[in-house]
Amino acid sequence: MAGTADLVTDPDGWTHRNATGTRTAHSEHTVAITDDGPVILTI
């Protein structure tokens, strides 16, 4: 997040926003659970 690490949660309880309104980015990994343990499928 640009400007701050503070988040605000909207009344819907799901949407998070940067407290200052500056630009942010979000990424996630896809993980497979195998017999040998977790494997991250995305980079």
What does the CA dihedral 14, 27, 5, 11 come to, rounded to 10 degrees? Answer: -10
Count of domains observed in the chain: 1
Residue 23 belongs to a domain: yes
Question: What pLDDT does residue 11 have?
Answer: 94
Range of the domain at 29: 7-40
pTM above 0.75, yes or no: no
pLDDT digits (tens, 9 = 90+) for 7-39: 898 999 888 888 888 888 888 899 999 999 999
Q: Which residues contact 40 (CB under 8 A, 6 or more apart)?
A: 29, 30, 31
Whole-angstrom distance, CA of residue 41 vs CA of residue 34: 12
Residue 1 belongs to a domain: no
